[in-house]
Structure 1
Amino acid sequence: MSFLPTGTVYGVLLNFRAEVEALAPQMTQPPYKAPPKAPVLYVKTANTWSPHGSDIVVPARVPEVEVGATIAMVIGADGDVEGFVPMNDLSIPHASFFRPPVKFKCVDGFLGIGPAMRDAQEVADPAEFKLELRINGAQRQSIDFSQLVRNASQLLADVSEFMTLAHGDVLMLGCDAGRPLARPGDRIEISAPGFETLANTLVGEAA
């Protein structure tokens, strides 16, 4: 049986240095006029969850989607990290980053979830994670988690300062800049040493 969360799934924006550098000019513009001091979170609601191996339906009005490959922390009973799982955080391309619009991120099926959780006790340092994202077998992105703004432990600590994460909640580490686009018919594979590969295929909405 594939892994599925038992709590709430949270995404994190602006947690890769390259993403922060790319968006830095916008951070001084209204309405906030300054970079965020706390982690910027959004929720991937349960209607978005797609198990490994399943097809993900892309609405007919959407020509292509943005692929956000990441690894997420699964929260344990004591508020610590129980394990890690790869995720495919799909979005309709959009420009907002301070308040990610639900209509672009919470489309039905728009979160591929890895087939198995890797036990946290097997992980010496999450900064050593390296992901490869392939679309139709061609490598489209490599992600190095040593490039996080907040490493896994710091991110968990900072989020826990303003909200309580419950057992079974999931907190993504973030998606790097340069996220590729994919279209219906594309097969997306996300792999990393020590993890089972996550694969989903995009399909067009039936007429």
Structure 2
Amino acid sequence: MKHARIAFEGVEQDATERDGRLLLADGRLVDFDAALWLPPLAPTPRPRTILALGLNYADHAKELEFKAPEEPLVFVKGQSTLIGHRQKTQRPAGVQFMHYECELVVVIGKTARRVRRDDAYDFIAGYTVANDYAIRDYLENWYRPNLRVKNRDTCTPIGPWLVDAQDVPDPMALALQTTVNGKITQSGNTRDMIFDVPFLIEYFSSFMTLAPGDLILTGTPDGVVDCRAGDVVVTEIERIGALVNTIESRRTAPTANATSAAR
């Protein structure tokens, strides 16, 4: 089943997909355009931890002229980065290179501690799509991306759906695609991950507890390009859905003092 979280008539609520429309809990069917789409996560529990993988596709590592990592390259994201389907992401004033990253997201369904690889799928509630934008200007080191690269408000659209795990029989064989203004700019397949989903759950749960609602963003293949204000970016994953996002300009750049302090 495909689950959504929306605001409709001023009320935040859950919905499911029914014949190309949104089915509300009270039985009403509403058009996609009538709702404000939110990240497809239940309000409780909210994601306590958002883990994101860098350089988890060998072709992307090669594209960036980096050697594929020998163990997962991981960073943590804040909840304020998340926005919903059909929402807008701000491109900071003055930056030279901001790119999308189409990523399969794993949503943890129950407490996971010291999980064996063979049991990993039992701990997954479902999957969604993320577009994890990166501001390349601020990058210090791909092995240590700083906060301004990956933790900016509005820079991680997620959705539109949370798809039940049982409806995705093999998450390691899904086609990914990104279009910018209707032109295909990225394509790949989850089978090309360096560290697959079962490995990642085993790895993370070996030293930390994963809780229901926690998210794992699993990385992106090659084909990233700079995105400008007005661009419409669609990140799509087979069986999961197509996430639409529009870039808008942030009118003012950070002040010199603020920029210096941030560094």
Normalising by the residue count of structure 1, what TM-score does the alignment of the two structures yield?
0.88
Is 1:192 aligned with 2:237?
Answer: yes
Paired residue for 2:74?
Answer: 41
1:162 is matched with which residue: 172, 182, 207? 207
Q: Quote the offset at 1:112 in angstroms.
A: 0.8
Q: Quote the offset at 1:37 in angstroms.
A: 4.3
Q: Quote the offset at 1:177 in angstroms.
A: 2.7
Gaps of 5+ in 2: 1-5, 7-37, 113-122, 253-263
2:58 is matched with which residue: 13, 17, 28? 17
How far, CA to CA, are the matches of 2:105 and 2:179 in structure 1?
19
Paired residue for 1:85?
Answer: 128
Q: How many residues align?
A: 199
CA contact (8 A) 1:64 1:184 kept: no
1:75 is matched with which residue: 108, 113, 116? 108
Counterparts of 1:76-155 in structure 2, within 5 Å, are 76-79=109-112, 80-93=123-136, 94=139, 96-155=141-200
Q: Quote the offset at 1:110 in angstroms.
A: 0.7
CA contact (8 A) 1:74 1:170 kept: yes
Identical-residue share of aligned pairs (%): 28
Normalising by the residue count of structure 2, what TM-score does the alignment of the two structures yield?
0.70
CA contact (8 A) 1:130 1:193 kept: yes
Q: Quote the offset at 1:197 in angstroms.
A: 1.3
Q: Quote the offset at 1:23 in angstroms.
A: 5.9
**Which amino acid is the alignment partner of residue 83 of structure 1?**
G
Deviations along 1:36-71, one digit per CA (max 9) or x if unpaired, are 543111122112111111111111122441111111
Q: Quote the offset at 1:20 in angstroms.
A: 4.0
- Structure having greater relative contact order (Cα 8 Å, sep ≥ 6): 1
SS in 1 for 2:100: strand
How far, CA to CA, are the matches of 2:55 and 2:131 in structure 1?
17
Rg larger for: 2
**Which amino acid is the alignment partner of residue 163 of structure 1?**
M
How far, CA to CA, are the matches of 2:251 and 2:81 in structure 1?
18
